[in-house]
Amino acid sequence: MNTYSAIIERDGDLYFGYSPEVPGANGQGNTIEECKKDLAAAIELVLSDLRDDYQRGLPENVIRSTVTA
């Protein structure tokens, strides 16, 4: 499991957040915790989409493995 930065700003009654390490991942909520939870879900979605995208173009004879960082 990785840890990502969360930049959170308040705008009126809402909080908006993003993670500089994961472009395109944004969250929002009525509280900081809601915003962080929404941002975490967005990070998961962005990373899942990236995994799906790169796997579509791989040749059949490549070795697929994982690493944990």
- pTM, entire model: 0.83
Contact 38, 10 (CB under 8 A): no
- The whole-angstrom separation of Cα 33 and Cα 28 is 9
Q: 20-66, pLDDT tens digit by residue?
A: 999 999 999 999 999 999 999 999 999 999 988 888 888 889 998 88
- Output 43 or 2, whichever has higher pLDDT: 43
- What is the DSSP secondary structure assignment for residue 59, as one 8-state letter? -
Is the pLDDT at 1 greater than 80, yes or no?
A: no
**Sheet of 14-18, strands arranged across:** 7-11, 14-18, 26-29
